[in-house]
Structure 1
Amino acid sequence: MALIDPSTSIRSGEELDVKIIDAYLKANIPGLSGNAKISQFPGGASNLTYLVEYPQQEFVLRRPPFGHKAKSAHDMGREYRILNQLNAGFPYCPRAYLHCTDKSVIGAEFYVMERVRGIILRSDIPTGLNFSPEQTNALCRSFIDKLVELHSVDYAACGLASLGKPEGYVRRQIEGWSDRYEKAMTDNAPTWETIKDWLRDKMPADHPKPGLVHNDYRFDNVILDPNNPMQIIGVLDWEMTTIGDPLMDLGNTLAYWIEAGDPPPVQLMRRQPSNAPGMLTRQQFVDYYAERAGIDIRNFDFYYTYGLFRLAGIVQQIYYRFHHGQTQDKRFSQFIHMNKLLEQMSLQVISKSTL
């Protein structure tokens, strides 16, 4: 079994015109020759990601999804800028080559970046890696170390100080995701009213030291070195990156973190090997992050519940597109059930919280 993350055939309705892409790239990237071949990376549920192959070089093309899109989401120019400028302070960003603002080329803005060839962990660790629990534990801690490192980057020195407004970040996220969720509501979606009220009531002050917030930091967004799979060589999907409270970002990451002891319905949502022997539990994850960051985290129930609510907002926005026939991707038909389960998980956290 190949360990390098593979691309596959392009999903129906998400095709690109290879002749148009080939001509555009050759006109804007010096030295390209031969015929282009385009395939699609199957992971992800937001921006679409394609592999563009030439005989001597490979690229990754990113474009927004087809159909309805949240107003502030899928900003190709913003993601392109982040990749170009953050690389100086966080060398795990792929290099971006060009940003196309002419929507007449493929019907939307897009950008092209280098392909970082490596291993991406999806639902399970491939048997070919033969990780022991000790190795898995070390990789998990390295994964957390990279998040701590990102949160400590001097974003002003990278020229990214204007990327976001850290003051009032926590309140804006609660209010913003409440508004986005309501706009993406369908007649079969839960209201989340109890959770939204609790989040507003328990809202803490902003973290005293703001940092870069990735907003989608998961194992399937990091790339492992194929020659040394214990080493992380790349971090992907910077479309939602901003400046804000790093503990909110930690909550985002833990919302995806399904641990071995979670009940079977929750296990069905798992998209990364966070349940593998040797992986940290959510509480151990928080404790190790706090140790490495040199901070004290006492009220993580709020940040975790926020992460679950935000994830439900993302899930519902995607389901909205499917519900209204704006995407043909059958994976999204089940997202309404994921939304309902996330609400139940949040209610359980709140019922046990001492906040």
Structure 2
Amino acid sequence: MTIRDEATVVRSGEELDLERLSAYLRKTISGMDGEIRVHQFPSGFSNLTYLLKSGDREMVLRRPPFGKKAKTAHDMGREYRILSSLRPIFPLCPEPLCFCEDPAIMGCDFYVMERIPGIILRKELPQGLSLSPEQARRLCENLVTVHADLHSLDIQAAGLENFGKPEGYVRRQVEGWSKRFRDARTPDVPDFETIMEWLARKQPEDTKKPGIIHNDFKFDNVVLDPRDPTRIIGVLDWEMATIGDPLMDLGASMAYWINETDSENLKLTRLMPTTLPGMMSREEVVAKYAEKTGRNVKGFDFYYAFGLFRLAVIAQQIYYRFYHGQTQDPRFGFLVYAVGFFEEACRDIVARNP
């Protein structure tokens, strides 16, 4: 038995051309002499993630999903360049190894990075792992610390000045995600028009302290030390990282953070073990973040509401593929309900902040 995050068999329809891939990797990455074996990590709704093994060496390959994709999403080259720039000053990033944009290899861009072996938390703790209330709280504190550290990085030192435009960031996010929802809407989900109007009207001014933001910072995108599961040893999935308002990043994270006191519908969207005894509440996480960063979190309801709306859009974009028969993954069918649950939660926030 292992509590490490493990890959399994590749899902039907998501296989890789191992002969072409192996030939490319042997030419590109040094030390790739043995047979290459491929498995797939089963979780995640966005980019596809595979485990490559060559002898004792373990690497991770990421590629876009099959089917309809948002025009600006799944930019493998951008993610690879962000990792390459961040790795020297933020060593929790995995080490990138190669990027391929030759469609003859896989029919899409992809990149390969070293694997950071460890524990990844999902909805429930992996079998064989338990956390005391004290450990759960310490893990939450460490998660907030890593997030705050990321937001405090020197953008110029990372060479990432051109990876985002902090001016007008919130406005572009509200407008962009609203358009994405309208483009991907199916007739069986709410229209979100009231919520989109509220977000447009309530958006704050540009932050005076922009930072490097991850945009998907949550438990299943961090790697924990198997010897001390409260210690974070890696941060994964940088596909949406940019330069922007760190409170928007925190709001996106809190959209995933389910409290024990949340509505029963919202609890059905829980993907992280945030209701374990000892885990901080959303409110405690935000307060701890404010303490560590000195940022003003007054009016955080806007950021949390936007995070919920953004999550609804992501779910709807994935459900769109299921609705139109572009994927058969049965997990995606539930997302029609999740979109409705996020809409309910957004309406509750709007009602509190008319």
TM-score interval (norm. to shorter): over 0.9
Structure 1 segment 187-266 matched on structure 2, within 5 A: 187-266=187-266
| Aligned amino acid, residue 196 of structure 2 | K
Within the alignment, does 1:115 sit opposite 2:98 as a pair? no
Give, in angstroms, the shift of residue 265 of structure 1: 2.0
Structure 1 segment 62-101 matched on structure 2, within 5 A: 62-101=62-101
| Aligned amino acid, residue 124 of structure 2 | D
Alpha carbons 1:92, 1:233 under 8 Å: kept: yes
Give, in angstroms, the shift of residue 325 of structure 1: 1.4
Alpha carbons 1:13, 1:328 under 8 Å: kept: no
2:102 is matched with: 102
Alpha carbons 1:12, 1:328 under 8 Å: kept: no
Alpha carbons 1:86, 1:155 under 8 Å: kept: no
1:154 is matched with: 154
Give, in angstroms, the shift of residue 130 of structure 1: 2.8
CA distance in 1, matches of 2:110, 2:310: 26
Structure 1 segment 329-344 matched on structure 2, within 5 A: 329-344=329-344
1:290 is matched with: 290
Give, in angstroms, the shift of residue 120 of structure 1: 0.3
| SS class of match (1:304) | helix
CA distance in 1, matches of 2:128, 2:189: 40
CA distance in 1, matches of 2:218, 2:297: 21
| Aligned amino acid, residue 277 of structure 1 | P
2:269 is matched with: 269
CA distance in 1, matches of 2:162, 2:33: 38
1:132 is matched with: 132
Alpha carbons 2:94, 2:116 under 8 Å: kept: yes
1:327 is matched with: 327
CA distance in 2, matches of 1:252, 1:349: 15
Give, in angstroms, the shift of residue 129 of structure 1: 2.8
Alpha-carbon displacement from aligned partner over 1:282-308 (angstroms, at most 9, x marks no partner) = 111111110011122110110000001
CA distance in 2, matches of 1:344, 1:33: 54
Percent of residue pairs bearing the same amino acid type: 53
CA distance in 1, matches of 2:126, 2:15: 29
Alpha-carbon displacement from aligned partner over 1:178-234 (angstroms, at most 9, x marks no partner) = 011111111112110111111111111011100011110110000001122121000
1:346 is matched with: 346
Give, in angstroms, the shift of residue 272 of structure 1: 0.6
Structure 1 residues 60-69 or 122-131, which shifts more?
122-131
CA distance in 1, matches of 2:146, 2:302: 23
Alpha carbons 1:63, 1:111 under 8 Å: kept: yes
CA distance in 1, matches of 2:264, 2:308: 17
2:143 is matched with: 143
User: Per the alignment, do residues 282 and 38 of structure 1 end up closer, same or farther by CA in structure 2, a change over 3 Å counting?
Assistant: same
| SS class of match (1:38) | strand
Segments of structure 2 that go 5 or more residues without pairing to the other structure are none
| SS class of match (1:59) | strand
Give, in angstroms, the shift of residue 127 of structure 1: 5.5
Give, in angstroms, the shift of residue 88 of structure 1: 1.6
CA distance in 2, matches of 1:67, 1:137: 40
CA distance in 1, matches of 2:260, 2:97: 41
CA distance in 1, matches of 2:262, 2:126: 22
Alpha carbons 1:222, 1:236 under 8 Å: kept: yes
Alpha carbons 1:58, 1:114 under 8 Å: kept: yes
CA distance in 2, matches of 1:129, 1:185: 40
Alpha-carbon displacement from aligned partner over 1:42-77 (angstroms, at most 9, x marks no partner) = 111000000011113111000000011111100010
CA distance in 2, matches of 1:125, 1:331: 20
- Kindly report structure 1 stretches of 4+ aligned residues shifted beyond 4 Å: none
Alpha carbons 2:68, 2:326 under 8 Å: kept: yes
CA distance in 2, matches of 1:130, 1:196: 41
1:300 is matched with: 300
Alpha carbons 1:184, 1:316 under 8 Å: kept: yes
| Aligned amino acid, residue 72 of structure 2 | S
| SS class of match (1:104) | helix
Give, in angstroms, the shift of residue 173 of structure 1: 0.4
Segments of structure 1 that go 5 or more residues without pairing to the other structure are none
| Aligned amino acid, residue 37 of structure 2 | K
Structure 1 segment 50-61 matched on structure 2, within 5 A: 50-61=50-61
Structure 1 residues 18-27 or 105-114, which shifts more?
18-27
| SS class of match (2:157) | coil
| SS class of match (1:53) | strand
| SS class of match (2:106) | coil
CA distance in 2, matches of 1:211, 1:189: 34
Give, in angstroms, the shift of residue 263 of structure 1: 2.6
2:180 is matched with: 180
Alpha carbons 1:79, 1:239 under 8 Å: kept: yes
Q: Please tell me the root mean square deviation across aligned C-alpha atoms, in Å.
A: 1.1
TM-score (norm 2): 0.98
Within the alignment, does 1:47 sit opposite 2:47 as a pair? yes
Alpha-carbon displacement from aligned partner over 1:245-267 (angstroms, at most 9, x marks no partner) = 00011110000001111232222
| SS class of match (1:6) | coil
CA distance in 2, matches of 1:72, 1:41: 24
Alpha carbons 2:3, 2:127 under 8 Å: kept: no
